[in-house]
Amino acid sequence: MLNRNDPIPLYEQLKSIIEDDIKNGKLRYNDQIPSERELCQQFNVSRITVRQAISLAEKEGLVQRLHGVGTFVAKPKIQQELTTINNFKSTLEKQGLLASTQYHDSKVISSDFQLSRLLHIDVMDKVLNLQLVGLGDDSPIVFYNSYFEYNIGMKIKESADLAIEKNIPFSTLDLYENVELAPTHVEQTFESVAANEHVSDILHVETGFPLLRITSIVFQDTLPLEYKESYYRGDKYRFFITRKW
Amino acid sequence: MLNRNDPIPLYEQLKSIIEDDIKNGKLRYNDQIPSERELCQQFNVSRITVRQAISLAEKEGLVQRLHGVGTFVAKPKIQQELTTINNFKSTLEKQGLLASTQYHDSKVISSDFQLSRLLHIDVMDKVLNLQLVGLGDDSPIVFYNSYFEYNIGMKIKESADLAIEKNIPFSTLDLYENVELAPTHVEQTFESVAANEHVSDILHVETGFPLLRITSIVFQDTLPLEYKESYYRGDKYRFFITRKW
């Protein structure tokens, strides 16, 4: 029930009730949620409050509005286990999504100071920049921006070309087994960032939209094979981990 | 150098140059960055572009503006290793920040359906809700919203009261060793969310600000001891992990 004495605004309380119903299983994927009018009556609140609640629920990826039809419970977020290296296709398939991968861009650039340090190469050495978009059910979910030392990059690109030609979904991590490279580990940082113009275009979200940025360096022993910045849509993706005491 | 043919807006390119200078070590913590006028001249761009670049750099936590004084390189983000359970105080101290912990709220509530399932208790059973704020150098960095079965919660609260009285910074994970509970593992999910009104007030950010939300269940074998939602300021905190192949 809504609590009018609570400092939490009514629309957030109403959003939490909808969220709980989804988590409880009272509302399931693809169920239609009650109409604005029904919610106004049931909770004795204004239409503005109901609209704000639904708009917030939509932002959080809980529901999806189909104009002229109604509002429906959205697919739950994609979950990826953190402690093992996962395959992009199988992670999405577990959530019932059809995965696919597209090129956004692929180009040879000169290494700047930062890339040189990250990839253990000289400044001005050739670097392959591979920009990929990972999609689930044809919606962009993740933008991968990878940098490789040129010779390594060309092998990876060849493997990527083949996967795209054959319509096999992948992330760069899935390609190493196809080339004569054997990564041993990956160092990653996780942070929450606001989408800039460039990435918001690619992921079909507004500037400022919350994204999970994962910065990775893939190593074969002490040799860095790849430096990658991945941007996941915050409303579509989450990671999970079990940590021991 | 700025590239006027690049689809990336000039202000983002300029922000990236400042970011690179910080990552390269050309600009260090507390260094003043060049004035707006100097940046306009150096890069031959308008003052609007320079202001947008600095504003973006500030949003990303790279620089800090002191009004009437200038713009300075900010402290780097707090990094926390993911694979081990870390102590709040030592994580912050490693980054040279003075940690502290405050109560935001503490109350006894009745369990709803969702909490009952998470904590393995009955609906309407008493639950202790402990809301804490973790600060670094007196700025709020994380909001912890924890739920405990009542008897467990009262023990934890007693330990929290004592820590606050003695001015010892902590997160709930640090308190278990003070009570006769021995957690074995914690299950966590990581996602990027926009700050709602409630949390934005607590963390001193605007609504919509990108936050890292970590949902945790702390277990002693199969018994859930605590359900917790933590909200970290995206500009202040990041997590890192090394994953093996």
Which residues partner with B212 through β-bridges? Answer: B192, B232
Residue A197 above 70 pLDDT? Answer: yes
Comparing C-alpha atoms, which of A158, A208, A188, A224 is closest to residue A80? A188
Q: What pLDDT is attached to residue A58?
A: 86
3-state DSSP of chain A? CCCCCCCCCHHHHHHHHHHHHHHHCCCCCCCECCCHHHHHHHHCCCHHHHHHHHHHHHHCCCEEEECCCEEEECCCCEEEECCCCCCHHHHHHHCCCCEEEEEEEEEEEECCHHHHHHHCCCCCCEEEEEEEEEEECCEEEEEEEEEEEHHHHHHHHHHHHHHHHCCCCCCHHHCHHHCCCCCCEEEEEEEEEECCHHHHHHHCCCCCCEEEEEEEEEEECCEEEEEEEEEEECCCEEEEEEEEC
The most confident of A200-204, B28-32, B55-59, by mean pLDDT: A200-204
Q: Are B156 and B137 in contact (CB under 8 A)?
A: no
Which residues partner with A149 through β-bridges? Answer: A127
Residue B39 DSSP code: H
Which residues partner with A189 through β-bridges? Answer: A215, B240
Comparing C-alpha atoms, which of B171, B216, B213, B217 is closest to residue B196? B213
Which residues partner with A213 through β-bridges? Answer: A191, A231
Q: What percent of chain A has pLDDT over 90?
A: 49
In the structure encoding, which two tokens stand for residue B180, read together?
A: 């006769």
Query: Could you identify the residue written with the tokens 């113009």?
Result: A197
Which of A9-23, B10-24, B76-90 has the least mean pLDDT? B76-90
Q: What percent of chain A has pLDDT over 70?
A: 97
Spatial CB neighbours of B117, under 8 Å, sequence gap ≥ 6: none
Residue B105 above 90 pLDDT? Answer: yes
Residue B129 above 90 pLDDT? Answer: yes
> Average pLDDT in the B159-174 region?
92
d(CA B102, CA B210): 22
Contacts of A198 in chain B (CB under 8 A): 7-8, 12
B25 contacts chain A (CB < 8 A): no
Comparing C-alpha atoms, which of B243, B236, B212, B216 is closest to residue B228? B216
Q: What percent of chain B has pLDDT over 70?
A: 97
- Which comes out higher in pLDDT, residue A117 or A153? A153
pLDDT in tens, B175-226: 998 888 889 888 888 889 999 999 999 999 999 899 999 999 999 988 999 9
A245 contacts chain B (CB < 8 A): yes
d(CA A135, CA A241): 23
In the structure encoding, which two tokens stand for residue B77, read together?
A: 């983000």
Answer yes or no: do A234 and B182 touch at CB < 8 A: no
Answer yes or no: do B187 and A240 touch at CB < 8 A: yes
Query: Which residue does chain B place closest to A113, by CA atoms?
Result: B24
Q: Using 50, 70 and 90 to split pLDDT, how confident is the model at A114?
A: confident
Answer yes or no: do A238 and B85 touch at CB < 8 A: no
> Average pLDDT in the B2-23 region?
86
How many angstroms away from the CA of A158 is the closest CA of chain B? 22
Q: Using 50, 70 and 90 to split pLDDT, how confident is the model at B82?
A: low
Contacts of B147 in chain A (CB under 8 A): none
Residue B48 DSSP code: H
Longest dimension (CA), chain B: 67
Instruction: Provide the pairing of β-strand A99-110 with A126-136.
Output: antiparallel
B56 contacts chain A (CB < 8 A): yes
d(CA A233, CA A215): 15
Q: Using 50, 70 and 90 to split pLDDT, how confident is the model at A2?
A: confident
DSSP B229-244: EEEEETTTEEEEEEEE
Residue A112 above 70 pLDDT? Answer: yes
Contacts of A209 in chain B (CB under 8 A): 194
What sign does the dihedral A139-B211-A83-B217 (CA atoms) show?
A: negative
Give the mean pLDDT of chain A. Answer: 88
> Average pLDDT in the B147-160 region?
95
Give me the domains of chain B, ranges plus CATH numbers.
Answer: 10-73 (1.10.10.10), 78-240 (3.40.1410.10)
pLDDT in tens, A133-167: 999 988 999 999 999 999 999 999 999 999 999 99
Answer yes or no: do B197 and A8 touch at CB < 8 A: yes
